[in-house]
Structure 1
Amino acid sequence: MEPTTQIPFTQEQKRWYDQACEKLDQDRLKKLLFDLTDIHSPTGATADASQFMTSYMSNMGMKAAYHPMNDISGNTLGELRGTGDGATLLLYAPIDTHLEGDESDYPWAGPKQYVDLKPQAKMVDDWVYGLGSSNPKAMVATLTEVVNALIDADVPLVGDINLGFADGGMPVTIPWRDNAGMSNGVEHLINRGMAPDYAIIMKPWNWVYHEEPGMGWFKVTVWGTLGYAGVPRGLPDFRSSIVPAAGFILELEDWLQEYTERNTSGVIRPDGWISAVRAGWPERPAFPSAATEIYFDVRINPRTSPGEVKAQVASFMRDIQAKHPDLEVEWEMYGSTPGGTTDPDNWIIQSARRGWEHIEGENYRDPDLLGGQTDGAALRRMGIPTARMGWPWPAEGSPEEIAEGLGGMGATYVPDLMPCAQKILYAVIDTCTRKRSETGL
């Protein structure tokens, strides 16, 4: 890791920064987070949440507009203009949740609907619970509070600030809602007038990332024959698809770990996970299925194309078929997004690191390797230099029982967000109180 380029604040910038930090209001942030969490916004149905944020930004003093994609979903964009001749900086977060928040989530989301999985907000002291409270709605609320503090402090901006929140940020695809997901919302905003010079996306982890992975989604079908529970094993006319699929899954799990090690570089560790297995009819258990389907996701390093990853999977499948000639199997790649990277020497990366160092009180160092995908990859692919900034996650010490594992990403300890807000605020003042030429444009 090269040392961060040091460009100290002027006395005026330092004063503006200190004044804006004083205006950061944890209680205001907490209330916004509670109100937004209480508005259900599953992927492909974010109209209510986006319209709420449009009104909120307008009331703050921003020029704000709602951008519908259909009758039930849309994105929102706010603008705070400077005096001119400065860079336009986008502060961005998705606004959709990864789960539906209803009975269709179960049992796959866990044994019961914990407080962090419910699409209703609950506040306990400085904790805000509810589906998506931490990711993505804490990011939406924090970025909004950063701009609110700038307005309250009357910081004389030169550049413009965009505050954008979009549907489709979750790594899902929802066919019954116009195939929402996989960054469709941020692409919609970019194609409709959002044209920043730089962007900061807020996501979990207390680092500054200059790159993020893409995704490759694969489906494998293991074939047998339609069977019947009343016949003995070993008859040549009947072949299970499920038992051979179990063996295949074990070999795939080993290969996925090899894939990760082989493709790790930069700050990206592209993990892969088997995510779903499907076969047969629960209402017809007497008839074993002729097909067993296996679904898995592999993350794609920005230095590796989806086509190259597809070729690696193809090689693995050829080896499996050569090793098990009796295994009848077919496969397909049914979803992909490339990764995205920004030159780590770019202004916005260095500015974000200066903000990180200012708050952490130490030199920036090599971050934890990253496998999580966000709309930041899409922004970078569209030519927008983008820094990813975040906060320690998950929050610890919850007074309420919450789901194990990823859960509903819905337990937020609001004080954890404030240092991140100060870091982002630093990068905003660093970037938007200068002329474009001073930022390398």
Structure 2
Amino acid sequence: MVTTTPLPFSPEQQAWYEQACAKLNSRRLQKLLFDLTNIHSPTGAAREASQFMADYLSKAGMTASYRPMNAQSGNIVAEKRGSGGGASLMLYSPIDTHLESDESDRPWVGPSHYVDLHPKARMQDDWVFGLGASNPKGMIATLTEVATALIEAEVPLTGDLIVAMADGGMPVDLAGRDHAGMSSGVTHLLSRGVAPDFAIVMKPWNWVYHEEPGMGWFKLKVKGTLGYAGVPRGTPGFRSSVVPAAHVILELEKWLIDYAERNTSGVVKPHGWISGVRAGWPERPAFPSAVTEIFFDIRINPRTSPGDVKAQFAQFIEVLRQRHPEFDLDWEMVGSVPGGTTSPSNWIIQSALRGWEHIEQRLHLTPDFLGGQTDGAALRRFGIPTARIGWPWPAEGSPEPLAEGMGGMGATYIPDLMPCAQKIMYAVIDTLTRKRAELGL
């Protein structure tokens, strides 16, 4: 458990905080969320949504710019400078959605008629529905509302507030769009002059996290020979790749569960999931495939390197080969992103914890284990102390039926976001109304 160090607000800070929170406007947040959700922003093609947010933040009183990465996409950076001598704090969210919302999604997303799987937004009472309306666009709307309310309250900042959003935050790798994904946008952003002292990332779950996992992507090949459905089993020279792959999948699933238990530490439990299987031709079912490929993602604890995870998997394969010498296996690691951690004693973690406890009116005890990977890991790897803070998720009580599982991450109940906005506002006031020396800088 991370212990929170008490540091009460001064009377002036308390007054500024109350003034800023009074300016938080849930209807304005909902309207922004609806408008932004209505702008489709798949990974690597978020230009229109990013330009919309740059314009919105400029009108809110920030110096904002759209920073293109290519013709299809770019990032947003907006700044409100303080009087000087303070720290810079970045409120950050990705802007891209995890699905394309076209024929390429089908049938892989399952039934596609659900409202949260489509980029056309729908608003009903306190709800906003649509692809990404919760993650990432609910986060963007909340962080933007925090900045807007802070400016309207005319809080005398000492440090600088930065609001930033980047494409490429989703754990995908789209070769046709300059390999967008895997934190490509935030890496571009941080490599080009955006250098905050601290960062806050808003992501689901009502806790403060000081660390997040990375991820390793693997492709495992089960080899056989090209066959023909007309030959009997036992025909010399024919070996199925598909049937042995079924056995390998079950063995791999057991290993992934054991891997997560062995590599749990801190607040991270690094799950792994088999995500896909590929073999043969749909139009040639008479010819069994010579190769069956299995794809999976293994999350990586910040205290474990991708190289170590690769070695752990190599050991699993070696044991599997010894028990099943008849299996012909080959594999490779096709993607790797290290995890990232920030010291729990760092200013921004402690400030976020104080904000959380102020609103929740209870101690921040040990949070639920975390397995989700975000751009926060990349921020930490760039040396930026980063706190992750969120809201209860998924939203409960939806008046619309939603896709099962993760779906389109597209159902947001606005009242769920407002306490998170108040927690983030606390950390913003706490951090940006002090001199650098007070913050350990």
Partner of 2:140: 140
Q: Deviations over 1:346-402 (max 9, x none)?
A: 000000000000000011110000000000000000000000000000000100111
User: 1:205: which partner in 2?
Assistant: 205
Q: How does 1:75-154 map to 2 (within 5 A)?
A: 75-154=75-154
Q: Deviations over 1:70-111 (max 9, x none)?
A: 000100000000000000000000000001011111111112
Match of 1:67 in 2: 67
- Check whether the contact 2:215–2:297 (CA below 8 A) recurs between aligned residues: yes
Q: Secondary structure at the match of 2:135?
A: helix
Alignment root-mean-square deviation, CA: 0.6
Where does residue 376 of structure 1 map in the other structure?
376
Structure 1 match to 2:254: 254
Amino acid at match of 1:434: R
Counterpart residue number, 1:300: 300
Q: Equivalent residue for 2:322?
A: 322
Q: How far is 1:295 from its partner?
A: 0.4
Partner in structure 2 of residue 364 of structure 1: 364
Distance 1:337 1:236 in 2: 44
* 1:113 CA drift (Å): 2.8
Question: C-alpha distance in 2, partners of 1:77/1:326?
Answer: 56
Q: Matched residues in 1 for 2:408 and 2:194: separation? A: 30
* Cross-structure match for 1:46: 46
Alignment-mate amino acid for residue 126 of structure 2:
D
Give the aligned residue type for 1:386. Answer: T
Instruction: Give CA deviations for 1:312-346 in whole Å, capped at 9, x if unaligned.
Output: 00000111111111111100000000000000000
CA distance in 2, matches of 1:208, 1:364: 8
Q: Equivalents in 2 of 1:344, 1:66: separation in Å?
A: 33
CA distance in 1, matches of 2:173, 2:120: 23
Q: Note the alpha carbon deviations across 1:253-300, whole angstroms, 9 max, x for none.
A: 000011000000000000000000000000111111111000010000
Q: Distance in 1 between matches of 2:230 and 2:364?
A: 66
Secondary structure in structure 2 of the residue aligned to 1:93:
strand
Q: Which amino acid aligns with 2:96?
A: D
Equivalent-residue separation in structure 1 for 2:236 and 2:375 (angstroms)? 51
Superposed CA offset, 1:128-154 (max 9, x none): 011000000000000000000001100
CA distance in 2, matches of 1:419, 1:261: 33
Corresponding position: 1:20 with 2:49:
no
1-structure distance, mates of 2:189, 2:112: 36
Contact (CA 8 Å) 2:2, 2:366: kept in 1 or not? no
What is the distance in 2 between the residues matched to 1:418 and 1:155?
Answer: 19
User: What SS does the aligned partner of 2:136 have?
Assistant: helix
Distance 2:112 2:148 in 1: 38
More displaced, 152-161 or 109-118? 109-118
Residue type at the aligned position of 1:414: I
Q: Distance in 2 between matches of 1:363 and 1:111?
A: 42
1:181 equivalent in alignment to 2:159 = no
Amino acid of the structure 2 residue aligned with 1:362:
R
* CA deviation vs aligned residue, 1:170-228 (integer Å, no higher than 9, x gap): 11111110000000100111111111000000000000000000000000010111111
CA distance in 2, matches of 1:389, 1:4: 15
Q: Which residue identity does 2:29 align to in structure 1?
A: L
**Is 1:429 aligned to residue 437 of structure 2?**
no
Residue in structure 1 matched with residue 389 of structure 2 by the alignment: 389
Higher mean displacement: 296-305 or 110-119: 110-119
- Residue aligning to 2:226: 226
State how far apart, in whole Å, the 2-side matches of 1:283 and 1:123 are.
Answer: 43
Aligned equivalent of 2:243 = 243
- Matches of 1:213 and 1:322, distance apart in 2: 31
Which piece of structure 1 moves more, 318-327 or 300-309? 318-327
Counterpart CA distance in 2 for 1:170 and 1:271 is 17
1:353 pairs with 2:370: no
Question: Secondary structure of 2:363's partner?
Answer: coil
3-state SS of 2:282 partner: coil
Residue type at the aligned position of 1:340 = G
CA distance in 2, matches of 1:79, 1:162: 4
| Corresponding position of 1:271 | 271
Contact 2:91 2:162 in 1 (8 A): yes
Q: Give the partner amino acid of 2:73.
A: S
Residue 26 of structure 1 and its aligned partner are, at CA, apart by 0.1
Instruction: Provide Cα deviations, 1:25-59, integer angstroms capped at 9, x if missing partner.
Output: 00000000000000000000010010000000000
Tell me the secondary structure at the aligned position of residue 96 of structure 1.
coil
Partner secondary structure for residue 378 of structure 1: helix
Shift of 1:2: 4.2
The reply on whether 1:334 has 2:334 as its aligned counterpart is yes
Kindly provide the amino acid, as one letter, of the partner of residue 379 in structure 1: L
**Which one-letter code corresponds to 1:205 in the other structure?**
W
Distance of 2:332 and 2:363 partners within structure 1: 45
| Cα contact 2:2–2:344 (8 A) shared by 1 | no
Unaligned 5+ segments in structure 2 are none
SS in 1 for 2:52: helix
- Paired position in structure 1 for 2:166: 166
Q: Which amino acid aligns with 2:46?
A: T
Aligned to 2:281: 281
**Match in the other structure for 1:36:** 36
Partner of 1:418: 418
Structure 2 CA distance, aligned partners of 1:414 and 1:227? 56
Q: Which amino acid aligns with 1:238?
A: F
Query: What TM-score do the two structures reach when normalised by structure 2?
Result: 0.99
* Cα distance change on mapping 1:31 and 1:237 into 2, 3 Å: same
